[in-house]
Amino acid sequence: MKVYDLQRYLKQFFEEVELVGDGDIVITRPAKIEEAGEGEVSFVANEKYRKYIGSTGASLLVVGQQITPDQYSKRCAFLKVKDPYTAFVFLLEKFASSPAPAAPGIASTAVVGKHVELGSNVAVGEYAVIGDGCRIGDNCIVGAHSVLLSGVSLGEGCLLFPHVVCYHGVRLGNRVTVHSGAVVGSDGFGFAPQADGSYIKIPQVGVVEVGDDVEIGSNTSIDRATMGSTSIGDGSKIDNLVQIAHNCHIGRHTVVAAQAGISGSVSIGSNCMIGGQAGFAGHLSIADRTHVAAQSGISKSVTSSGQAYRGYPAQPLREQLRQEVLVRNLGAMKARLDALEAELEKLRDVQ
Amino acid sequence: MKVYDLQRYLKQFFEEVELVGDGDIVITRPAKIEEAGEGEVSFVANEKYRKYIGSTGASLLVVGQQITPDQYSKRCAFLKVKDPYTAFVFLLEKFASSPAPAAPGIASTAVVGKHVELGSNVAVGEYAVIGDGCRIGDNCIVGAHSVLLSGVSLGEGCLLFPHVVCYHGVRLGNRVTVHSGAVVGSDGFGFAPQADGSYIKIPQVGVVEVGDDVEIGSNTSIDRATMGSTSIGDGSKIDNLVQIAHNCHIGRHTVVAAQAGISGSVSIGSNCMIGGQAGFAGHLSIADRTHVAAQSGISKSVTSSGQAYRGYPAQPLREQLRQEVLVRNLGAMKARLDALEAELEKLRDVQ
Amino acid sequence: MKVYDLQRYLKQFFEEVELVGDGDIVITRPAKIEEAGEGEVSFVANEKYRKYIGSTGASLLVVGQQITPDQYSKRCAFLKVKDPYTAFVFLLEKFASSPAPAAPGIASTAVVGKHVELGSNVAVGEYAVIGDGCRIGDNCIVGAHSVLLSGVSLGEGCLLFPHVVCYHGVRLGNRVTVHSGAVVGSDGFGFAPQADGSYIKIPQVGVVEVGDDVEIGSNTSIDRATMGSTSIGDGSKIDNLVQIAHNCHIGRHTVVAAQAGISGSVSIGSNCMIGGQAGFAGHLSIADRTHVAAQSGISKSVTSSGQAYRGYPAQPLREQLRQEVLVRNLGAMKARLDALEAELEKLRDVQ
């Protein structure tokens, strides 16, 4: 593909795509700016990477509109756009050729139950098992070895990689991606303590509802509700090895990083960012646009939106950082205390 | 089912089940009190939910004996019992109709090895693989795609959801439930460091023994012992994504919440409660009835039973809470120190 | 096997293997020293276990050269070597008889794609799926239900337990062991935020490259790179439930304990030891031979090698321990401050 072709392609997404340099250079693939060579395209979206512009071997760079390519002497073309990061994502998509994890059609070894509704253009991989009463929307891909228990419904364009399990009654929206090893709809962790110290299991009769455009990472567990539903809103992204307990509700466009753990009946708002390994106590309510730092332990509800939290137990970011500084300076505080005591001792002697 | 029927059903479990209201009302399913409507049954076990009694749309409420239904004007029947939470659990079970994850009998696609002993009324799902010399007790259900390597034994009434893996020689007791993605018996993480910085693997020749009535959550890993066994006692409940390392011993009726991690050779007593994301250093011994708060890091053995721990490194709960208050007040302490220094400065000037 | 046989066996690995006692005693298996009985062999490598030498029921002990067996009265033979721990590992291997997780040959139910290169002496288990263009080296074992998407390559002597998933293009070196539920090559967690609060997925077009002699634990997730590769160096050992994000690079002979989480684009050096549940912020660089304590949160790069870190946020071990002591003594500090204020109050009154 030539630089001209890529310029034309990006014009679908951006009003202005200014070309500086030779539009006839042939580009074959994307690369990181520090590793890129001839025929490769890279980008600069972050000030930190600007230093590479002069030295990169790339043949094309996608950059912001404030960059002045003329000052760089390299034989490299430039495409200037408002949001070079997103532009590069579109280029990645243009060049990406990830093979689908299942061939078109229903593999002969797949087991499809009774009363299953299959949309058009569905691919079901080897040994996949689709239970009775499932509904699979148009253009879905169900990877090899994935198991959908009875009554599972997938909207249109879902992509399940191999080895996904959806328990009975789980509902995924449209364009949901689920990675290998993820389990959606396992029983909530609910047991009623008895007088003799033993427990009886609380039946988990609810479901899991996942909205549109959600991505669920590998080896993540999302438990079904005790009653009602566990839900994940449209556009939210869940990383690998995340625990989402029974009756949690996660809003729209919320991002949950790897190994975070959300206890039962927690409601997290929309457009939140939850750091890796962060944990939430049960029954909390977290306002929209809350940011939670990695490894934080949220022990109370967050009522005002747009705040950042950090620490164990977590507090508003600024308070936590101030406290961390105080703790780091405890040695100095102790020294001042020693000095005060010594001085007072002297004063006492004087008197 | 009528309210009268449910009263009769609960009398199996409770001495007194007092009905207040109309026993002929038809009940079709359980619901959360704040969402319940006509024909639905809910419960109040916790003071926090008492406020909903007046406004719920439920047709039946299970409540404690101290509740006086007459003061509520709603058209709703009441069943008064000693333990409304447990009573409701029994009602959930009555109404629950979770489909079994495998149909009765051995699926034609299942692979059953040599010298396998299968009890009566066993269900083995599609593509399950049962290795040579396995023993499967009566009434077991082995979900689709589960793999039991050679010599695995399951007691009676075990329920393995799809995609469970038991390595060779793993032994589960009676009525053990294992959720999808759980791996029981993978190799302990043992490597002997060599002088050149490399490692040689220590063969893991032990097993895993799981007692009766244990539940193991989705995507949990339980490693086999180096020698001897890793064991989990009767009635213990292990949540999702938990790590139980080689040679751990967990007592009876101990509850381990999601993403907790237990290092090698740790012994945890009976009736303990381990919070989510808590971690244990290796080779510790933890007394019975110990409570460990979520995200705590236990670095020392706990010798006296019935204590609560929290923090990183963890300390007895009260000490930890006192310390957390002191840390939060460090700013005030620093201000007092500043004031003292200023005052002493003045005193010095006076002299 | 007789003690003489074991002495001869160990002489392959050690220059000196001194026998004290009866070389004709028959040894049938290894055991822990505190549980060992007749016919069993155990070892003492650690001072803590020396106390068991007098009371063990073992028939053979492997001990260090500084031990003087004569002072123990038991009927037990001794083999004295320089490194009794490693010697015992070799004995474990001698006695270990872990059955291979797949029988020799290609199971009739396995699905092998087009243009697959299979080495000699390969075992592929029931229902395994090997995608188009995969290359499987000599002596590999691919467990039941494992799925290799297209273009995966395994070196020689790899061992994949059941239920392993390798996404397309993943490359494993020689003698790599992967435990059940591990997912290698799932998409990196990359999404470009849009002005309306939604995200668009960044295609993950890179791969994962794993060196020789690496072990990967059960239910671990290793994400493919956005561009380029995520890599794990020769001899590194990754425990269960570990998260390794896109574009991470891990050096040689580095050990990562269970549930540790490594964010995107982190480079960890060689011969590091990463504790369980430790976490790393993104884009850090960690020097060789760094030790990270369990549950630590590494927020900055580590530039000098051979240092130990601990805490949240992590600091050099000594500073962190000093700080933890100061925090634990905050109550005493507060009492001293109270006393100073009271004394100053008195002084003020005097004046």
Please give the order of strands across the beta sheet that includes C285-286: C117-118, C135-136, C153-154, C171-172, C207-210, C229-232, C249-250, C267-268, C285-286
Q: What pLDDT, on the 0 to 100 scale, is given for residue B100?
A: 85
Q: For residue B54, what are its two tokens?
A: 């007046």
The tens digit of pLDDT for each residue in B164-194 reads 999 999 999 999 999 999 999 999 999 999 9
Can you give the C-alpha Rg of chain C in angstroms?
A: 27
Q: Which has more pLDDT, C173 or B48?
A: C173
Q: What is the DSSP string of B103-163?
A: -SEE-TT-EE-TT-EE-TT-EE-TT-EE-TT-EE-TT-EE-TT-EE-TT-EE-TT-EE-SS
Least confident range from A279-288, B6-15, C266-275: namely B6-15
Instruction: Give yes or no for a contact between B191 and B176, defined as CB atoms under 8 angstroms apart.
Output: no
Decide: C156 and C137 in contact? Cβ < 8 Å: yes
Measured torsion, CA atoms of residues A141, A110, B163, B176, in degrees rounded to the nearest 10: 130
As for the ipTM of the complex, it is: 0.91
DSSP helix/strand/coil, B84? helix
Q: Tell me what pLDDT residue A7 has.
A: 95
From chain A, pick out residues whose CB is under 8 angstroms from the CB of C343.
344, 348
Give the model confidence (pLDDT) of C49-78 as tens digits: 888 998 899 999 999 998 888 777 668 999
pLDDT of residue A73: 60
**Closest to A68 in 3D by CA, of A53, A55, A89, A58:** A53
CB C42 within 8 A of CB C36: yes
Are C284 and C264 a contacting pair, CB within 8 Å? no
Is the pLDDT confidence value at B20 over 90? yes
Let me know: does C167 contact C185? Beta carbons within 8 Å.
Answer: yes
Residues of B in contact with C324 (CB under 8 A): 313
Q: Which residues of A touch C165 (CB under 8 A)?
A: 161-163, 180-181, 218
- pLDDT in the model for residue A351: 60
Q: Which of C243, C284, C344 to mutate to test the interface with A (most CBs of A within 10 A)?
A: C243
Residue A104: phi, psi to the nearest 5?
-55, 150
Residues of C in contact with A181 (CB under 8 A): 165, 181, 183, 219, 221
Tell me, what's the pLDDT at C117?
98
Q: Which residues of B touch A181 (CB under 8 A)?
A: 181, 219
Give exposure, A197-221, as e/b (b: 16+ Cβ within 10 Å): eebbbbbbbbbbbbbbbbbbbbbbb
**Residues C101-130: what's their mean pLDDT?**
96
For the stretch C32-50, pLDDT in tens is 898 899 999 999 988 888 8
Whether residue B179 and residue A200 make contact (CB cut-off 8 A), yes or no, is: no
Asked if the Cβ–Cβ distance from B197 to C109 is below 8 Å, we say no
The CATH number corresponding to A3-95 among 2.60.120.260, 3.40.50.200, 3.40.30.10, 3.40.1390.10 equals: 3.40.1390.10
CA atoms B64, B65, B66, B71: torsion sign: positive
Catalytic positions of B are 246
Class for the domain spanning B105-320? mainly beta
Q: Looking at CA atoms only, how far is residue A236 from chain C in angstroms?
A: 8
C76 neighbors C95 (Cβ within 8 angstroms): no
Q: What is the mean pLDDT of chain B?
A: 94
CA distance A167 to B101: 8
Interface test with C, best of B114, B124, B127, B129 (most C CBs within 10 A): B129
To the nearest whole Å, the CA of C234 is away from the closest chain A CA by 23
Neighbors of chain A by Cβ distance (3+ pairs < 8 Å)? B, C
Q: How far is A195 from chain C (nearest CA, A)?
A: 34
Neighbours of chain B (3+ CB pairs under 8 A): A, C
> So what's the pLDDT on residue C71?
74
> Do A264 and A282 meet the contact criterion of CB atoms below 8 Å apart?
yes
Mean pLDDT of B70-76: 75
Which candidate in A115, A163, A168, A246 is catalytic? A246
User: Which pLDDT score, from 0 to 100, does residue C351 have?
Assistant: 60
* Selected catalytic residue, list C163, C246, C249, C253: C246
pLDDT of residue B46: 86
- Mean pLDDT for the stretch of residues B326-350: 88
Chains that touch C (3 or more CB pairs under 8 A): A, B
A-B contacts (CB, under 8 Å): 181
Q: C293-297: long-range contacts at Cβ-Cβ below 8 A with a sequence spacing of 24 or more?
A: C293/C317, C294/B263, C294/B279, C294/B281, C294/B297, C294/C257, C295/B279, C295/B297, C295/B312, C297/A277, C297/A294, C297/A295
CA distance B129 to chain A (A): 13
pTM, two decimal places: 0.92
- What residue spans define the domains of chain C? 3-95, 105-320, 323-350
Q: Give the closest residue to B218 by CA, choosing from B168, B162, B135.
A: B162
Whether residue C322 is predicted with pLDDT greater than 70 in this model: the reply is yes
Task: Give me the pLDDT at residue B95, please.
Answer: 82
Closest-CA residue to C251 (of C230, C263, C236): C236
Please give, rounded to a whole number of angstroms, the shortest distance from the CA of A5 to a CA of chain C. 20
Whether the bond between A203 and the residue before it is cis, its omega within 30 degrees of 0, is: no
Residue A94, pLDDT above cutoff 90: no
pLDDT at C349: 74
Query: Is the pLDDT at A350 greater than 80, yes or no?
Result: no
- pLDDT over threshold 80, residue A252: yes
Q: Which residue on chain C is closest to B241 by alpha carbon?
A: C241
Please tell me what DSSP assigns to residue B69. Answer: G
Report how far residue A273's alpha carbon sits from residue C142's, in angstroms, rounded to the nearest whole number. Answer: 39
Cβ separation A279–B295 shorter than 8 A = yes
Percent of chain C at pLDDT exceeding 90? 82
**Site of tokens 């791969």:** C207
Inter-chain contact B198–C235, Cβ cutoff 8 Å?
yes
CATH of A108-319, one of 1.10.599.10, 1.10.150.120, 3.40.50.720, 2.160.10.10: 2.160.10.10
DSSP 8-state symbol, B230: E
The DSSP output letter for B70 is G
Lowest average pLDDT, out of A250-264, A312-326, B97-111, B286-300, goes to B97-111
Residue C345 — very low, low, confident or very high, per pLDDT cuts 50/70/90? confident
